[in-house]
A = this chain, B = another copy of it.
Amino acid sequence: MTTVSEQATWVEGADGSLFDIDNLPYGIFSHGDEPPRVGVRIGDQVLDLAPVAASDMLSVAHLFEAPDLNPFLATGRSTWSSVRTWVSGLLTDEAERGMVEPSLVPVDEVVMHLPVTVEDYVDFYCSLEHATNVGKMFRPDAEPLLPNWRHQPVGYHGRAGTVVVSGTQVRRPRGQVKPPEDDAPSYTASQRLDIEAELGFVVGAPSRMGDQVAVDGFEEHVFGVVALNDWSARDIQAWEYVPLGPFLGKSFATSIAAWVTPLEALEPARTDLPGQDPQPLPYLQVGANAGYDIDLEVVLNGEVVSRPPYSSMYWSPAQMLAHMTVNGASLRTGDLFASGTISGPDKGERGSFLELSWGGKEPFFAGGRERRFLEDGDTVTIRATAPGRRGRIGLGEVTGTIAATLG
């Protein structure tokens, strides 16, 4: 993909940080009363792209005045690469410093907005360990993995309209639940509110209805990656999900990071999948380096409670994309598809409280006491880092605080 500068950036404090010149994620920021527009993060600064691109008379400069990344995402891989090379040059070439520096805004002075207007949102179920854990808990007397699981990345459509940016408060949802000991369902605030630590993949280049996107079309269509928290009300979900799948147990909120990390920045993180047995059908076959070595941390009220490794995922993002379009379903700019909960083989690598507390039966410890599900006032932050060309790079974090239910 893109060749980026071998030089260090002149932006103070950025070199060697998680947001070094090898990273350069995109987001939508606003400063004071100015309208939201496109920024690139470098260190603790946001580069306001629109004025710099206008000064440089870039043909795509107007795309950076948009209130979402969608117009830029729609341009496709070749423009994404050119712009990345240009930004990298701006931030490494001392000669550009005078022109660029006035357009740097400290990240703690801006408000971040939802980076992408999400069109269709699909959530997959790609972790062998997560699927196995859930199977053991919900069907203790049966084979934990369902028969289709090793043959296809199983997924479902989620609610795009409730995808929110990191920092948005999440209100405890209400709905129907029916605990096993009750004869009839009741209406209540969820008592088993949970997180799912995931990565989301943002589609840039669309495809036509009827066409299939092959596994090797991944880099052509997908722009980048966000940390994602698929908030889940386990009690609502358990009662509703047979036979049409999760609905209200998920649709109240899904949080994504404010910063979209381009695939180019994650090139050094590519790694082999752990292995697929049986071999999938040809349309799902991938070669070496199909996975990503991205390490997540789940932080509950400031304390790390889990370290899910994305490298443990069974199905790769290119396989999700190929499967999602094998029936000819079209892609739109702004489509978002997510990995499903990332859980590694170790107990401390589980990406949901459901697994960390084994369905609430084996509480875990945090804040000096036993914890099972989310309590009002809890703040959960998911952080992710990956090997970069030199040091590690950071994905934008995704955080949210639970507010009490209304009424």
Contact = CB atoms under 8 A, between A and B. Distances in A.
A253 interface: yes
A281 B187 contact: yes
Interface range on chain A (Cβ under 8 Å from partner): 35 or more
Interface of A: 119-120, 122, 125, 146-148, 151-152, 154-162, 164, 171, 173-176, 178, 184-187, 209-210, 212, 233, 236, 239-249, 251-253, 278, 281-283, 323-324, 326-332, 335, 406
A33 B247 CA distance: 43
B157 A156 contact: yes
Nearest to A240: B148
A327 B233 contact: yes
Contacts of A155: 244, 247
Query: How many chain copies?
Result: 2
Main secondary structure of the interface of A (DSSP, over half): loop
5 contacts: A154-B247, A171-B209, A175-B327, A210-B406, A242-B243
A327 B252 contact: yes
B248 A323 contact: yes
Nearest to A405: B328
Contacts of A154: 240, 243-244, 247
A167 B125 CA distance: 35
Contacts of A327: 173-175, 233, 236, 248-249, 251-252
Contacts of A152: 176, 185, 240
